[in-house]
Amino acid sequence: MPEYISNMRRFIGRERLLTVGCSVVIYDGGQLLLQRRADNGRWMCASGGYLEMGETPEAAAARELFEETGLTAHSLELLGVFSGEDYFYTYENGDNVAIVDVAYFCDNFSGEPMPQPGEVAELRWFAIDDLPENMANTSRNSINKAIEFIANK
């Protein structure tokens, strides 16, 4: 957890905290790489995490992609910025957040997908017309936008 968030938690406890997340939708050959979270078993974008103080959203997205999948992004294209009630989330420890997600698309990357131990239970490629039903609400908008983006490429 970034130091800023842990410091804020000392003041507000488990109350809802506005956070900025950065995520990446990975695409290759008609498939999207998704991760199944270790903490709740839900499927979501291949990577995502919090923006750290002084970091750009693009740098945070690339960092999270590498940390969670072992993949290196060579280019990222902005899909959009998403927020709202679908992005309210309560962690297993009871911490509440309202996420503003800066989502990117990446089809230019290198490396072999390797799940981050403890955080990512599984990485799997899914055809864009056969995505899992057990997807996190916070991933649906960015994945739908990525599918639209792919269709218009």
Contact 126, 113 (CB under 8 A): no
Give the pTM.
0.92
Residue 1 confidence (pLDDT): 58
Q: Average pLDDT of the chain? A: 93
pLDDT digits (tens, 9 = 90+) for 18-67: 999 999 999 999 999 999 988 888 898 878 899 999 999 999 999 999 99
Query: Is 10 strand, coil or helix?
Result: helix
DSSP code, position 138: H
Three-state DSSP class for 108? strand
Question: How far apart are the C-alpha atoms of 46 and 34, rounded to whole Å?
Answer: 4
Q: What are the structural domains of the chain? A: 3-151 (3.90.79.10)
CA-based nearest residue to 73, from 39, 41, 45, 40: 45
Per-residue pLDDT reduced to its tens digit, 100-147: 999 999 999 999 999 999 889 999 999 999 999 888 877 888 999 999
Percent of the chain with pLDDT over 90: 78
